[in-house]
Amino acid sequence: MGPAVPVVLLLLLLGSCQYSFAKKKNLQSVCGRPVYHGRIVGGQAAALGRWPWQVSLQVDQTHICGGSLISDRWVLTAAHCVKTTLYALFYTVWLGSTDVNYSSKGKEYYVSRIVIYPKRDGLLDGDIALLRLSSQVTFTDVILPICLPNASKQHTLPASCWVTGWGQNKEGQYPSTLQEVEVPLVTREACEKLYNPIGTFIPELERVIKEDALCAGDIRDEKDSCKGDSGGPLSCHTDGVWTQIGVVSWGLECGKNLPGVYANVTYYQKWIKTIISRAGGLGGDCTYVTSCSYFLWPSWDPPELALT
């Protein structure tokens, strides 16, 4: 009977370890909690591990858009970033690296399914899409999901949040290293007045900034998202974790006169949850026709132009 006590203790310890591991694997226990906590202020290179959910959406090993990891199988991006003329497997996502080019530190995953928000009335509406990965993502110190807002909970947002990406900077170049910039949030009413000043005098005009969108950007200091950042996250530190409230969507003259416009993640949260929960019932790749416009910077660049 003597050896029985150590065996029992061992089993208890193993049970405890298994519980701890399962707890760590729970999405809500790991999302929005990067291991790296340093900060680089305004429009500069981001440290590895600072934004572990940041995704580079690529075609033929060339960056076309940003995105964010929201679970071990799903990436959130903008609808205008994906083309219906390409099969899902033409797309790959790059995780775990601040270098947009291939490196030994990064991890590549293939996309197996594309789901675009179906009710799109035009380029500016419903600019959100989900990408299902062909294999499960292994979370590490530099690869973690970001939390999504709870639509049923009232969140107190900070005055400013952070946008990240490999998009065009103010010098007109496309950096190879992930950039980060802190941008103030702009109310939808104030943003509407900036984009649609005549609407104040003609109330019956259709709104430009609708309830499914939000705005952020520092016009004075020219801090903004830009072409190439599309699909990337607008991340806010709220309630002790990083939460994604926006998806980079569109804008005019980056940082010059108007703030950037983002798809409102809270608005689409129910749709996101529905798609992910019903993933097993979806048949094939779900894509819908998208449109592009040349005067807005969200239009998707061909691979050969993306890094010029």
Using the 8-state DSSP alphabet, how is residue 297 labeled? T
Q: What is the torsion angle, in degrees rounded to the nearest 10, for the CA atoms of residue 241, residue 235, residue 160 and residue 259?
A: -170
- Active-site choice (97, 230, 235, 249): 230
Is there a contact between 290 and 298 (Cβ–Cβ < 8 Å)? no
As a whole number of angstroms, the distance between CA 75 and CA 133 comes to 8
Q: Which two tokens stand for residue 165?
A: 């990406």
Using the 8-state DSSP alphabet, how is residue 147 labeled? B
As a whole number of angstroms, the distance between CA 159 and CA 222 comes to 17
The candidate with the shortest Cα–Cα distance to 82, out of 133, 132, 131, is 131
Is there a contact between 123 and 293 (Cβ–Cβ < 8 Å)? yes
The radius of gyration computed from the CA coordinates of the chain, to the nearest angstrom, equals 21
Burial class (CB in 10 A: 0-12, 13-18, 19+), 260: buried
Active site residue 127: yes
- Active-site choice (80, 212, 218, 224): 80
SS3 of residue 155 by DSSP: coil
Counting runs of H as helices and runs of E as strands, what totals does the chain give?
4, 13
Active site residue 230: yes
- Active-site choice (56, 68, 127, 235): 127
Active site residue 291: no
Q: Which residues are catalytic?
A: 80, 127, 230
